[in-house]
Structure formats: C-alpha cells, structure tokens
Structure 1
Amino acid sequence: MSKLLSPVTLRGLTLRNRTVVAPMCQYSAVDGFANDWHFVHLGRFALGGFGLVVVEATGVVPEGRISYGDLGLWKDEQIAPLARIVDFLHDHGAAAGVQLAHAGRKASTPVAWNGAEELATEEQRKAVGYEHWQPVAPSAESHDPANPDFQVPTALDKAGIARIIDGFAAAALRAEKAGFDTVEIHAAHGYLLNQFLSPLSNHRTDEYGGSRENRMRLVLQVAEAVRAVWPEDKPLLARLSVSDNAPGGWTPEDSVALAIELKARGVDAIDCSSGGLAQGHITSTASYQVPLAKAVKQGANIPTMAVGLLGDIEAAETILQNGDADFIALARGALDDPNWAVHAARVLDGAYDLWPVQARRVAGRDQVLGLRN
C-alpha cells in the first residue's frame, strides 16, 4: 500500500489514510449556523475517500469571525447542525475536525459576492445575516491601510485577551459535544493569533509584546486552555503561518521554537501554511510550502501537515516517502476534485475499496476504458 493511503494514528484517533481536506471558508452561514450548503460541501469529501475533513475557520466569539457569513461555535445552539455533518462524515469513513479561529483585525470584512446591490434592503441583509462590527487586535493598526475593507481595530486589553482564551476553550467543549475527532487552533494567515506572533503586527509593550517569548504567550495560553478541556485521547492540531514571507516578520526558525512549545503543551501535529500579512510576498507554485512542513517536522520533532497546491498524486506520495511531512492537505484541489483520495487509491494502489459501496461500479467503467486490469 502507498504511504498516502496508509492508516495513521494520532493519540486515540486512527485515520483511514493521510489525505486531509483543509479548512475552506464558505461565507454561507447566518449567525454562525451551519446549513445544507455546509452539509453537502463537506459530506462529499467523505464520499471521496479523504481521511480527515476539517471544517472552515469557526468563530470562537461572534466578533472573531472573518465575515458575517462565517461559521461559529460561541453558543450551544450552533452544535446541532455541526453534529449532523460530523455524523455523516463518520458514517462514510472520514474523521471530522474543526478549525477554531479568531480573525482579529481581519474581522468584519465583506463577503465578496454580496455587494451594495445584494445588500440594498433590510430584507436582503437579513437573508444573508449581514452584520458589521469593530474588530480587535494586539495593536490598533489596520491590516492594510490602503484597503478600505479593513478597519482600524481596538487594541485588546487584558480582559479582552482573557475573553478570547475562554472563547477558544468554550468552543472546544462545544466541538466535543458535536462529536468532532480533532480541533485545530488557527494561528495562521494574518488572523488574531498570527497577529500576536508577528513583530510586523504586534507592537505591544506589555507581556504579550516585544520578545518572541512574549509574542508567543497568547498562542500558548490558548493551546493550554483548549488542551485542558479537550479529551486526552483526541488529538489537537495547530495551524501556523510558518513564515510571514516578509522582511522583519515571523520566520521558520520562530515557528520551530513555537512548535516545540506547542508540542510540550499537548499539540499533536502542525498544519504548515504561510503568509497572511499585507507585507508578505511569495510566488505560489506546486508544493511551494512543503519545505516549511519539513523544517517544522525536523526542527520540532512533531508530525506536520503539508498544504498548498499539492494536487499531483505522485508528488504527494513522494513528499510522504521522503519524510518531508506526515499528511497531505488539499483545499482548492479538493474543491476541484472532491474524489481526489479515491482517485489516488486507484493511481497508487490499483484499489477501489475506498469508494462508497454504492459507487464501486466505477471499477467496471475503468476496466472498459483500460484504466485498470
């Protein structure tokens, strides 16, 4: 069996293979509630054979959403529609994860397809759950002063920081009630925890700013709070922007130091992405972030997840065989091919048993077309 399609265990969770659907914001919720769009969007990846499906960035407090269309887990009523999705994923062989998030100064931004015309009336705004609010951040600085979509945030005080830590822990408890197998702490892509980490966005002078140790403090406190309430037999993940891709910003060396501390606090794997601050610049090419996953894996001795233009099946297998990462995560690649994992099983192993039993007639079609013996 190929490594990509081989089972893997983190704590008490065994995934059927090493393919992961990375979190993808759908901007389709009202008041944070999952609906039929999320059910179908996520459910198809279980049918497509993926090992782990991770639900989009989910606000731990209402003002932590990227937009009014984001999912949330800040109140108990939001548990049931997510539990319905989790049950479907489980019924069809996939593990279920959810990314817990706070957008910080990148919150309360527009939904791209809802412009002035789509929000012209109160009825239209109500239908999509339109809201607008004041973001918070480590420092009172806009993500991008040249972009009017981003507001100048309010700098968080100690009470605000405590509320965020409590929000992550409370959301993790709700995720457990919904039946999720893992939660991922979102500390990447220029959102709140990444904002605290980066010297480009954190200009505080208290214990949450200045030195790298201070800038890491909130992320580590969140990890401790989540691990304290998350079941011991369930893995905890963290997503990092391993590099800001910007001069004077957060670096891979910083991420290795952070990953070591996260591991000591019970984080089991690092989802390795990059960028997210306005100052960052990088050219995206196939597998361009794999060296970041390798650096964290080797430097911190922790399992890593590679992500970023990884849709080539043979290349994905090679990444794992070379020991550069332990999991292969797809986002837009999964949108393009929700059946990528079952296709990988055919290409690498000549196997069709990953298909749902209702769909295994595909094997006969492939035989007629000469795609299998």
Structure 2
Amino acid sequence: MIKLFEPLALRGVTLKNRIVVSPMCQYSAQDGFANDWHLVHLGSRAVGGAGLIIQEATAVSPEGRISPEDLGIWKDEHLPMLRRINEFITAQGSVPGIQLAHAGRKASTYALWRGEGTVPESEGGWPVVGPSDVPFAPNYPQPQALDAQGIQKVIADFRAAAQRCLAAGYRVIELHGAHGYLLHQFLSPLSNQRTDEYGGSFENRVRLLLEVVAATREVWPEELPLIVRISATDWTEGGWNADDAVQLAALLKTRGVDLIDCSTGGNVPKAPIPVGPGYQVPFAERIKQEAGIRTGAVGLITNPAEAEAILANGQADLVLLAREFLREPYFPLFAAHELGVEVPWPPQYERAKPRVHAVAGQR
C-alpha cells in the first residue's frame, strides 16, 4: 500500500488520503468576509483530491487579523459563505478544516503585494497587542502588552470562533501557534518578556496556548479532531527550540490535541533558516517519536516521491503542501497516477484521467 493514499482516522473523521492543503493567506477578504475567490480557491483543491483542506489563518477577532484583507470568523454574519464553501468541499469527498489565528504584534500589516510593515489607521489599520511591548521589527506596529482582561478576551475569542466553526460545517480545527503570531509570541522568550504567570518559565509561557486549547475543546465536539500548528524552533539562539517543542507536544497530547503540524520560524526577522526540500521534516519526526503524538510535515514538499518517502519512513502521519498546491490544484490526482494508485476522478473530468498506457510525459 502506498502510504500517501492510505486513509487516516482522526477521532470520528477519516481522511481519504494523507495529503493536506496547508493554510495559505489569500488577502482577498473585506471585513473578514469570504467571497467567490475563496470558494474557487478552496473548492478547486477539493476537486483535485486533497484529503484535508485547511482554510487560511482566519482571525478570531478584528484586531487579530494579519492584514485588513484577512478572513475572519468573529461574527455570525461570516458564516453563510463559509458554510457554502464547506458544503462544496465535503461534496467532493474532502474534509473542510480551518486555522484559527490571532496575529498579535504582527497584526495590522500590509498584504504581501501591497507593501511592507504597519498599515496606519488612516488606511484601515488598528492598534495591536502582544505578550510584551516589543515590536516584531522596526517597521512593524508597536504592540501594547496584554493585561489580564485582554488575555481572557483572547481565550474567549478562540472559544467563540470554535463554536462558529461547528455551525459553519468545519470538521477539523487547527490552532495557529506558529510563525510569530500571538500564541507563538507567548511561547518564545524572545517575544515574551512578561514577569507574571504568563511569562518567564516554560510552564508560564505555554499557559496561554494550553488555555486556548482547553477553551476550544470545551465547545468542539469530542468526535472532531483538534490540530495545533507550532514553530518547532525560532532558529535563533535563546529562542524557542526543538526541545521546547517536544515538551509542549507531549502536554498538548494530554489536553485533547490529536496532531502537531510542525513548521518553524517566523518570530525573528531574518533568522538564519536553512531552507531546502524537506528542511522541517526532522522536527515532525522527532516530535512524533519523542512526544508520541501524530505529526504533519510541511515545507518545500513538491513531488509525490518526497511526500511518500516522509510517510513510508515514519517521519510524519500527514504531509501538508502549500505553494505546490498553488502551482497544481490537482496534485493528489496526478500523484496517484505517478505512484501507480487508482483513485476516482470527478466524473466531469474523467475523460482527462491519465491511463497507464499513456505515452510517458503526456497528461
């Protein structure tokens, strides 16, 4: 059996294969509302055969957006279009998931193609918060350190968002604890300089994430999976590191988390990251082995052979692809053909399905 196309059961949800569309910001919303772009973007990957599709970082509050163009799920009015998208994804045999996020000190910044750094309030920006009053970079907003009331609001916002996720038809939630956003900011001693119960020791710095997980699990049904994405290292001396990540993953396993999505970086500008094919896979492998929890591998996985090798070697349980899915929305269908696995194509596309006797190189 080719591992890439083995089903995977996570609680009461079964993925038809191990190929996941990684959350990718589209910067195409207004006031948090999804639109036809998101329907076509996410829907086409479902037509393409992905087992799980995780919607881009979706803000749990207006101030939690990365940019003014981010998706949101902080009000009930957001739900009808999200529900429509999820119904389409489900109809194609894929599982709809969502990444819930709060950008913290990296909020109120420009979409990738609009500029860099802080969006001023005159252009739709807003005041930002963080664990401490330390900005991400000189051209990023100056955050206000969250007080006790502010921390409780963050937890409540995640909890309310999880309730809306259920109403919108999502079957998997991923909490965004990576890439230098708020939950990661609390984890790392480079961004968290607090002296209260949310700062200092490892136990204090992981407290907010554990409380968000608990609040989410209170309202997220027992039969539905909960994933947490973490950055397994800051790639910077004195920051969050792989030993911390293993310790955190073991704690998350006892709190009802089913899988760790293992990324890295994002909390330090211009960190020396050794980017290359599969460069983050060893973190997924170590966390899987030492914390005893399922993991997902992500980062420059671009071809079926690479993806299959990661799973066959026991380094992870899922592979998440981002940019490769932007290049090839139907990656799973062609991966199956390349690996010699028979999978159904949408009947509307059946006439284009590659056959085993096709001339090499032709599609």
Shorter-chain TM-score tier = over 0.9
Supply the distance in 2 between the matched residues of 1:35 and 1:354 (Cα, whole angstroms): 29
- Structure 1 partner of 2:253: 263
SS of 1:258 mapped into structure 2: helix
- Structure 1 partner of 2:6: 6
Confirm or deny that 1:141 pairs with 2:134.
yes
Superposition deviation, residue 113 in structure 1? 2.9
What amino acid is the match of 1:267?
V
SS of 1:141 mapped into structure 2: coil
- Structure 1 partner of 2:36: 36
Supply the distance in 2 between the matched residues of 1:15 and 1:291 (Cα, whole angstroms): 24
User: 1:345·1:354 contact (CA, 8 Å) conserved in 2?
Assistant: no
- Structure 1 partner of 2:72: 72
- Structure 2 partner of 1:239: 229
Superposition deviation, residue 364 in structure 1? 5.7
The alignment yields a C-alpha RMSD, in angstroms, of: 1.6
Supply the distance in 2 between the matched residues of 1:270 and 1:364 (Cα, whole angstroms): 35
Superposition deviation, residue 323 in structure 1? 0.4
Per-residue Cα deviation, 1:68-112 (whole angstroms, up to 9, x for no partner): 000001000001111111000000010010000000000000123
With over 3 angstroms needed to count, the CA separation of the structure-2 counterparts of 1:297 and 1:226, relative to structure 1, is same
Aligned residue pairs, count:
357
- Structure 1 partner of 2:124: 131
Confirm or deny that 1:194 pairs with 2:184.
yes
- Structure 2 partner of 1:178: 168
- Structure 2 partner of 1:307: 298
SS of 1:49 mapped into structure 2: coil
Superposition deviation, residue 365 in structure 1? 6.6
- Structure 2 partner of 1:295: 286
Supply the distance in 1 between the matched residues of 2:330 and 2:260 (Cα, whole angstroms): 25
Superposition deviation, residue 115 in structure 1? 5.7
What amino acid is the match of 2:264?
S
Superposition deviation, residue 366 in structure 1? 6.6
SS of 1:361 mapped into structure 2: helix
SS of 1:342 mapped into structure 2: helix
Supply the distance in 1 between the matched residues of 2:230 and 2:344 (Cα, whole angstroms): 31
Supply the distance in 2 between the matched residues of 1:278 and 1:115 (Cα, whole angstroms): 19
Match of 2:318 among 327, 350, 356: 327
SS of 1:87 mapped into structure 2: helix
- Structure 2 partner of 1:122: none
What amino acid is the match of 1:30?
Q
User: 2:345·2:353 contact (CA, 8 Å) conserved in 1?
Assistant: no
> Which segment is superposed worse, 272-281 or 246-255?
272-281
Confirm or deny that 1:49 pairs with 2:49.
yes
Superposition deviation, residue 362 in structure 1? 2.0
User: 2:2·2:341 contact (CA, 8 Å) conserved in 1?
Assistant: no
Supply the distance in 1 between the matched residues of 2:341 and 2:213 (Cα, whole angstroms): 41
- Structure 2 partner of 1:89: 89
TM-score, normalised with respect to structure 2: 0.95
SS of 1:53 mapped into structure 2: strand
- Structure 1 partner of 2:345: 355
Supply the distance in 1 between the matched residues of 2:74 and 2:358 (Cα, whole angstroms): 52
SS of 2:223 mapped into structure 1: coil
- Structure 2 partner of 1:16: 16
Supply the distance in 2 between the matched residues of 1:131 and 1:165 (Cα, whole angstroms): 25
Supply the distance in 2 between the matched residues of 1:358 and 1:155 (Cα, whole angstroms): 53
